[in-house]
Structure 1
């Protein structure tokens, strides 16, 4: 298991590390310009309003018993880590030049993406893209073991209630000119570790921190251990223990949950819908956004939890004596945080993406703080609809200075410094 090094606070504007030098793509012209028929002004979310009462945002920690995890590993075989999964990647992401015109329309106009890739359409049919997180979240040097990796979450609705699926694509990012990937099905152990079921949840938010992967669920968060990836042994559509071994709906790998965080507040409390990691705080923190009700009129919430500094609780949230993780900071925003957009916080600035409306083509991305909100302008009509149409996740790779996201079939990145420059 990789030991966590001392986190180095890295500020914006640092030069990209050598492994990224010279690989930026000239994508300014790749995104379709926004038409003048779109609104010239987006509703400004205004200043963030601090919240004094945060009790409804508390999460109660639940751990899967070690005996259950050991029993599952005994039945399925010794777990593998991220390196083994990346080594078996069987799919390739297309580079920007191979993306279709429709796929490139998912890219931001201003600021422009400097890297772009497109997923295999056949492999993502009927699946919805969700969150993105990277080895830059997992460790401050941007490397996990010997690898640089990107994790991409996807969700699929089943034909009946309770039959949804969720998976994570493990992307080998060691060579940014050639990204390859394979996927693992997200599951939850049942029957004391004798079996597992599919995670029936929309993966709208996901953060990889140390050896843990935190994923949004309908009632809070699920926790996964990236060192506990299990191999499926039977290739079938079934999920769980089957005659002759273990099946994962045709996937080669299974990632079973090791714990969860459930909302401890009253019904109707905001649940985390978008997640990101903030390394500019001490200790590092998990950033979340959400609404009290989907599509409701009440302002969205932005808040954060501290990660534990206890070496025996690597990758888990800080909890009190009762096992509750309490929000250490919270705000209201008139932006659409949690309404389908992503959230990112760094150096007291909050970045919130807002999805495009039916007649807008592109979304907006606002930088918000206690004094107000600002967004980039683009096009001859100075519209603020300059961002990707739908980004449910924003992930800052501090070692490279880049923000990663995805929209539709398109995975992309751009410098955080360019986000700041575009809203000045």
Structure 2
């Protein structure tokens, strides 16, 4: 499927936004059962500080490595003709529960203020032993909010706990055409090996994920050298053997129980080295020309280094749909970069002149903080009249803005949720 023009079907996007606003879930009551008496936020990070010197932006240069087409063709020849997102959605065989059917313990993961207007919980049996990660949607993929005729949400997970990952990452491909009935199926994130004769799983948590045009960009952790992997959403392979193994097995191909496999088509890597930044959170920003990939590199609390925020431009070349713009040497260079005193950044979203940063809670049951920051200053969301600020979700991994509906999507714990960007802005103003 080819990416359509950016300005088509705007009217349908506005109508969809209005329809969703009229059918939003009343989750405020659920949020109020969670105590909002949190400690006042410690330390205003102040304004963003632009990084203009090469010492600040040079280490943010990405080297692009393409998987040889021969490898991908060889894999497709052995596994069968690749399929697209529509075929994956047709195989959706699992469902999420609406907020009314989620437990109080599950809903504890939701923000207190601003409250989620739509929320769903994942099946505990299906996600047992899995660690939730980033979220992206067809609102990133195309500006009309749909991929073909479908509204789609992608949710990343990886086996393991908060300390370590014990298996390959996977993505839940969610059919969101009916907001009252979300269904999904799994696709394994894989990397071709042995010249395309086999594949391995991407053994990493997924802290950032963006679906842009026909490509899915995924951040990977230390085990993958902090790389940014790229997947082609029109090149999905079917698994033919249901087993816990990954790759070629007797009788066919296995994907650790998933029905589909996404083989990587490219990877971007930072230079690395002691003290070098690492890609953590990413999001799409359609407010720049061309569209850009916003990124954050986490600096832990107590570290003397500032957290860095930066962006890369997407390529305008039709032959490079969904890939970053690179120079003659195959490097994607940061087109804008900032330093911020906000530490432990978990999710990043850039829209217009503002950067929205989520800061994780200090403990498993605590509340996180959401900051809106720009070159003039910073403000955090407030928990009602008591003016406390630790009222965001405690373990939020990413933020994704669905421009056609005006919603920000995220997930925390077993909860997938959305709320209007306008409500975030009202909470900080």
Cα deviation for residue 355 of structure 1 reads 1.0
Q: What CA distance in whole angstroms lies between the structure 2 residues aligned with 1:117 and 1:72?
A: 36
Q: What is the Cα deviation at residue 375 of structure 1?
A: 1.1
Structure 1 position 349 matched with structure 2 position 354: yes
- Label 1:359 to 1:132 Cα distance change in 2 as closer, same or farther (>3 A): closer
> Contact (CA 8 Å) 1:9, 1:279: kept in 2 or not?
no
Q: Any conservation in 2 of the 1:131–1:153 contact (CA below 8 Å)?
A: yes
CA distance in 2, matches of 1:21, 1:418: 12
Q: Contact 1:34/1:386 (CA < 8 Å) preserved in 2?
A: no
Q: Where does residue 122 of structure 1 map in the other structure?
A: 125
Q: Which of 321, 325, 329 is the equivalent residue of 1:314?
A: 321
Q: Distance in 2 between matches of 1:161 and 1:351?
A: 27
Shift of 1:202: 1.4
Map of 2:47 onto structure 1: 47
Partners in 1 of 2:422 and 2:40 — Cα distance? 24
Residue 22 of structure 2 aligns to a residue whose secondary structure is coil
In the TM superposition, residue 357 of structure 1 has moved relative to its aligned partner by 1.8
5 Å matches for 1:225-244? 225-244=232-251
Distance in 1 separating the partners of 2:361 and 2:300: 20
Bigger fraction of residues in helix: 2
Aligned to 1:372: 377
Q: Distance in 2 between matches of 1:33 and 1:101?
A: 8
Query: What is the match of residue 280 of structure 2?
Result: 273
| CA distance in structure 1 between the aligned counterparts of 2:177 and 2:146, rounded to whole angstroms | 9
Q: CA deviation at 1:40?
A: 2.5
| CA drift at 1:106 | 1.0
Q: 1:400 aligns with which of 402, 405, 423?
A: 405
Aligned partners of 1:302 and 1:331 also within 8 Å: yes
Match of 1:391 in 2: 396
- Alignment partner of 2:253 out of 246, 252, 261: 246
CA apart distance, 1:44: 1.5
Q: CA deviation at 1:15?
A: 6.6
Other-structure match for 2:290: 283
Q: Which runs of 4+ in 1 moved over 3 A?
A: 7-10, 13-19, 32-37, 160-163, 292-297
Give the Å deviation of 1:109. Answer: 1.3
Instruction: Name 1:100's counterpart in structure 2.
Output: 103
Contact 1:157–1:163, Cα closer than 8 Å, also in 2: yes
Moved more, 396-405 or 380-389: 380-389
TM-fit CA distance, 1:278? 0.2
What is the deviation of 1:365?
0.4
Instruction: Give the superposition deviation at 1:361.
Output: 2.3
Q: Map 1:11-410 onto structure 2 (within 5 A).
A: 16-17=16-17, 20=20, 22-32=22-32, 35=35, 38-52=38-52, 53-157=56-160, 164-218=167-221, 219-291=226-298, 296-336=303-343, 339=344, 341-358=346-363, 361-379=366-384, 381-410=386-415
Give the secondary-structure state (helix, strand or coil) at the position aligned to 1:29: helix
TM-score normalised by the chain length of structure 1 = 0.94
Change in Cα spacing, 1:299 to 1:310, as seen in structure 2 (3 Å) is: same
Q: Tell whether the 8 Å contact from 1:14 to 1:401 is kept in structure 2 after alignment.
A: no
2:159–2:165 CA contact under 8 A, matched in 1: no
- How far is 1:298 from its partner? 1.7
TM-score for both structures, normalised by structure 2: 0.93
Q: Which runs of 5+ in 2 are unaligned?
A: none
Give the CA deviation at 1:380: 5.5
* Alpha-carbon distance in structure 1 between the residues aligned to 2:421 and 2:187: 30
Q: Please list the CA deviations of residues 94-141 of structure 1 after superposition, one character each: whole Å capped at 9, or x if unmatched.
A: 001001001111111111110000001111111111100000000000
Question: Shift of residue 60 of structure 1?
Answer: 0.3
For the 8 Å contact 1:340–1:390, the answer to whether it is kept is no
For structure 1, which runs of at least 5 residues remain unmatched after alignment? none
